[in-house]
Amino acid sequence: MSEIGYITAFLGGLLSFLSPCVLPLIPSYVSFITGMSFEDFQKGDKKRVRKLTLINSFAFVLGFSTVFILLGVFSSVVGKFMAVYYDQIRIIGGSLIILMGLYVMGILKLDFLSYEKRMHLHSKPKGHFGSYIVGLTFGAGWTPCIGPILGSILLIASTSGSAVQGFWLLLAYSLGLAVPFMITSLTINTFLSHFSAIQKYMRLIMILSGLLLIAFGVIMLTDNLPLLLSIAPDLGVEELITN
């Protein structure tokens, strides 16, 4: 069976990380959750810095992953009860995803997607649990860049009709965000020195993100979603779609 569903969800997470709404903020997030300045990263005790960074970054990742996975499970459960309207959801959802892809690429202007709503913490709660809370607020924040990609994967999860399927899809998406975040946080000095070079490719990243969304939309519109979700037929996905 194809694992394209997990791969594309992971790729969606990776592109979300590389988006201009997330990538430039990574140094600030790492500094905030660790309680260390950029000078501490450069001149502090390397062993202590690495330990603090690893533990707090993991707690932060666990926080936003909790939010995304719960959203995936909830979307799948709701979709299961709306299975009778599968064709309507598929057509509307596919069309919306294509529109969001065109928006991300900058071809289409959608003001309602440009509205940004984030939860802000002015001071970080103490300890590793505090980093987890910061991760929760990051996951609950809705930004113009991460929203279309995450929303598209949630739409796909909703048509799966399986809470387990929604769990795994959003876990893959969370890993796509988590892996580069962990690597970046542990190599923050290298990241800071090369960030200006990375920024040159932001436009290309957004085009790739838009194309990924459009591909999702076309798959849904052409009713090829069973192929995308054919990772585990024993979960009852195929029966749900064909009935």
Residue 241 counted as domain residue: no
Distance CA 151, CA 170 (A): 11
- How many residues belong to the chain? 243
Q: What pLDDT shows up at residue 59?
A: 93
Check if the beta carbon of residue 68 is closer than 8 Å to that of residue 173: yes
3-class DSSP string for 135-160: HHHHHHCECCCHHHHHHHHHHHHHHH
Residue where the block lists tokens 């930004």? 143
Distance CA 119, CA 139 (A): 9
Residue where the block lists tokens 């202590």? 48
Which pTM was predicted?
Answer: 0.73
- Residue-wise pLDDT for 228-240, tens only, equals 555 433 434 334 3
Handedness of CA 33, 62, 16, 115 (dihedral sign): negative
Residue 239 counted as domain residue: no
- Give the residue numbers spanning the domain of 139: 4-225
Residue 172 counted as domain residue: yes
| Token pair in block for residue 120 | 């802000």
Residues of the chain with pLDDT under 50: 1-2, 231-243
Tell me phi and psi for residue 123, to 5 degrees: -145, 140
Residue 237 counted as domain residue: no
Residue 26 counted as domain residue: yes
Residue 243 counted as domain residue: no
Report the 10 Å Cβ neighbour count for 206: 19
| Token pair in block for residue 52 | 């603090």
Per DSSP, what are the bridge partners of residue 142?
A: 117
In the chain, how many domains are there?
A: 1
Distance CA 38, CA 61 (A): 20
| Token pair in block for residue 181 | 């975040």
- Residue-wise pLDDT for 76-133, tens only, equals 888 777 766 767 777 887 788 788 788 778 887 766 555 555 555 555 666 788 888 8
Residue 77 counted as domain residue: yes
